[in-house]
Amino acid sequence: AQKVTQAQTEISVVEKEDVTLDCVYETRDTTYYLFWYKQPPSGELVFLIRRNSFDEQNEISGRYSWNFQKSTSSFNFTITASQVVDSAVYFCALHKSSGDKLTFGTGTRLAVRP
Amino acid sequence: DAGITQSPRHKVTETGTPVTLRCHQTENHRYMYWYRQDPGHGLRLIHYSYGVKDTDKGEVSDGYSVSRSKTEDFLLTLESATSSQTSVYFCAISAGPQGYGYGYTFGSGTRLTVV
């Protein structure tokens, strides 16, 4: 069975601080995809990034960066110089090659205070 | 251009009544999904479809049924609503032709309250 764990239920930071959201996954597959989604207070789910299991290169997109480490089964998400607009619930998710379904973690609620 | 719309956006219904939620897509994607979101549980898969009239159960399918008679529409029915089915329901479509690895595009959600 596959599983995604986001141990941090809630994180609160002050604006301009850096923050890392942790994601640990379990799967027996060697081919899979990992995702991060953002859910702002308005409620919609916004796709942030997709990473396949064969690409361990870290990725940076503006203030966002992702660290994928197969050795520890982790796919962590870092926001640099956080802003109030980053306040949201963030979900990590796993899609394995032998199935059609996306498995989500329970989410991390990030609050960025001015 | 949402490409995927859910209706209704909000609904309040009484225990024991049937309820149908609709998901409509204009992307011609083969795969469609229904999830529910509850505090502490994240998003959990209820049912999904991999083609017209082809559906399968997810991890929390009890009390729910689905139908897909056309590529663009995926209906979720609560046969007899219970208070435990109060939740936010999201429909999703796969962004790739094979439904794997491309992530999902989500609808805006339906907030259902069963009283």
* Gap from B100 CA to chain A (nearest CA, Å): 6
Q: Best interface-test mutation with A: which of B43, B88, B94 has the largest number of A CBs within 10 A? A: B43
Report residues of chain B scoring pLDDT below 70.
Answer: 1-2, 95-102
Instruction: Kindly determine whether residue A33 and residue B101, on different chains, have CB atoms separated by under 8 Å.
Output: yes
Report how far residue B69's alpha carbon sits from residue A28's, in angstroms, rounded to the nearest whole number: 35
**Which chain B residues are within 8 Å of A37, Cβ to Cβ?**
106
**Which chain B residues are within 8 Å of A91, Cβ to Cβ?**
42-43
Alpha carbon separation from A88 to A38, A40, A45, A95 (Å, rounded): 7, 4, 10, 22
Q: Does B40 touch chain A (CB under 8 A)?
A: yes
Contacts of B87 (CB under 8 A, 6+ apart): B36, B37, B38, B112
Residue A114 CB-half CA count within 13 A: 1
Q: Over the stretch B38-64, which tens digit does the pLDDT of each residue have?
A: 988 889 999 999 889 999 999 999 999
Q: Count interface pairs A-B at CB distance under 8 A.
A: 53
Say what the pLDDT of residue B30 is: 87
Say what the pLDDT of residue A81 is: 97
Report how far residue B53's alpha carbon sits from residue B9's, in angstroms, rounded to the nearest whole number: 25
Say what the pLDDT of residue A2 is: 82
Say what the pLDDT of residue B104 is: 85
Instruction: Kindly determine whether residue B101 and residue A104, on different chains, have CB atoms separated by under 8 Å.
Output: no
Report residues of chain A scoring pLDDT below 50.
Answer: none
**Which chain A residues are within 8 Å of B31, Cβ to Cβ?**
100
Say what the pLDDT of residue A86 is: 97
Say what the pLDDT of residue A99 is: 58
Ramachandran quadrant class, B72 (left: phi over 0; alpha: psi -120 to 50; beta: rest): alpha
Say what the pLDDT of residue B99 is: 55
